[in-house]
Amino acid sequence: MINLCRVLITIALISNFSFASEIDLVRYVASEKNPDRKESYFIDLLTLALEQSKTQYGDYQLQAVDIDMAQGRSSIMLQQNEYIDLTWRMTSKALEQQLQAIYFPITKGLMGSRVFIIRNNSQYLFKKNMSLRELKMLSLGQGHTWPDTEILLKNGFKVIGGHADALIAMLNKKRFDYYPRALHEPWVEIADESELVVEKHLMLRYPAPMFFFVNKNNKRLQQRLNLGLKSLLDSGEFEQFFIHHKITSGILTKAKVHKRTIFDLPNPLLSEKSKALLADKRLWIEFN
């Protein structure tokens, strides 16, 4: 009996050691053909969360997978557990049914705070005192598979859909009047576009958390990221990361948000679990 107990204890110790020493491989899409300069924010935050959970879960390996594809396709790959282990996307009820969301708004709601990229001779169309009804008379461009497209359509906007990597060119070709982008996005995206500028007076705002997503069967990575992100939030490190990261630093000042007319819109795509996060002010950017 004593020997059997010793054997069981030894097995338990070996199992615990194996769990802690296992190296977690975390693969994500990073296209070399169409690189996204903004993705450094998500990779840096992911790294922080994995580091924060290292004591409990052991080491990890991040691996960029060079595949050029739309968001919708990468989500299908993740759902089928092929090639990648994680993605980051604005959430919706449908997406949360397909994939396991890590319920932590990683950009503090920036994805739902939208200023416009316009042609540099089009500012006259956008007046500070224009009404929402007048704005809806103009056409805007968004990605085919983006939740924003459905949100804006349901709010009565004229939306022209396109592939994500073609929308800038479509705007230049006058296929639509403006291209709403999250607060941290437009300046990076038009850095090499001399014919485009950021519109000066207006902004759309709707609750739109962006989450890390994993396969629903990947419980280990789900639990590890939950632990790491919560630890970063509770310690204040997440707030410092957001304030100082090169992609988000000083973004409210740069966008001159306090001078803009803001149109608040409902987001009909939010699940009840996502809505519940709105109560925790630490998770959202403050506009005051």
pLDDT recorded at residue 77: 87
Task: Output the six-digit token pair for 212.
Answer: 């890390």
pLDDT recorded at residue 29: 87
pLDDT recorded at residue 7: 38
C-alpha span between 179 and 150 (Å, rounded): 15
Return the number of other C-beta atoms located less than 10 Å from residue 193's C-beta.
Answer: 16
pLDDT recorded at residue 38: 81
The one-digit pLDDT tens for each residue of the chain (288 residues) are 444 444 333 434 434 444 445 789 999 988 666 667 788 999 999 999 999 999 999 999 999 998 776 677 888 889 999 899 999 999 999 999 999 999 999 999 999 999 999 999 999 999 999 999 999 999 999 998 899 999 999 999 999 999 988 999 999 999 999 999 999 999 989 999 999 999 999 999 999 999 999 999 999 999 999 999 999 999 999 999 999 999 999 999 999 999 999 999 999 999 999 999 999 999 999 886
Q: What SS3 string covers 37-103?
A: CCHHHHHHHHHHHHHHCHHHHCCEEEEEECCCCCHHHHHHHHHCCCCCCCEEEECCHHHHHHCEEEC
Beta bridge partners of 263: 204
Burial letters for 224-251: b for 16+ Cβ neighbours within 10 Å, e otherwise? bbbbbbebbeeeeebeeebeeeebbeeb
Q: Name the residue among 247, 269, 253, 155 with its Cα closest to residue 204.
A: 155
pLDDT recorded at residue 48: 97
pLDDT recorded at residue 216: 96
